Structure 1
Amino acid sequence: MDTLRVIMEYEYRCGSNAAQAARNINDVYGANTTNECTTCYWFARFRSGNLDMKNERRGRPKTLVDNDELKAIVEADDTQFMAELAADFDVSIKTILVHLRQIDKVKKLAKWVPHELNDCQREVRVETCIAQQTHK
């Protein structure tokens, strides 16, 4: 709990307006301790009946992306767009991109694929190339 807010509540309960309260606080605790705009904000909260001294949460709610769940979704449907994945997990596209990198997935030719090929995938590609060269 912020001591300054308690002092503002005291000033509010004493019947001061925001400008008077800001001046009183600055006179006692030093110039620029608070300003009228900040005091107005807190007085409005007090008037609405909200005497909670904590700041309200700002911004998008923080949700964690379960990498195992993300990997299962991407492997089940590798054509999804990052915006769709972000909406599914209720996070930003940048957050999805970070988690896709963590599970070694990159988008190639409109599909999510492993960032690195495993040995089996490399062999299949070599065999495919050899087969195509023999058919020419």
Structure 2
Amino acid sequence: MDLLRAVIIGAKGTPYHDGLFFFDVFFPSGYPNEPPLVYYHSRGLQLNPNLYPNGYVCLSLLNTWRGRGNEKWTPGVSTMLQVLVSIQGLILNAKPFFNEPLMIFKSGTYFGEAWSLKYNEDTFILSVRTMMYTMKNPPKVCF
């Protein structure tokens, strides 16, 4: 069984800034012709519309969300590095409120930006709670 534990550090300028986010990756026998399976150690909290409390990671590169062309896993081209960079840049971003499919249309509006700010405040608090819990109870391998 091929497993990888990855830790992504939240980028500056995001509600995830300097947070440590743990992911377990399982490489199926068909890898690299099929995407890896990625599990997020959520601690039961939903910090982002694309990171579920049950550990599910919603990302087109993992074929867990619809996508077009190079947004989806391409055998022989897509890599694990791409997956990790996509999670850090596309999911753990500065305005995660707009990761919610219908909320992207509110981007740039007064109400959309106000909701996004409130979402970021709540996300930061959840991020801190996740870090406190993780420090007390380090994640175990999920697969």
Q: Given the two structures, how large is their TM-score scaled by the length of structure 2?
A: 0.20
Higher strand share: 2
Q: Which has the higher helix share?
A: 1
Higher relative contact order (CA 8 A, sep 6+): 2
Larger Rg: 1
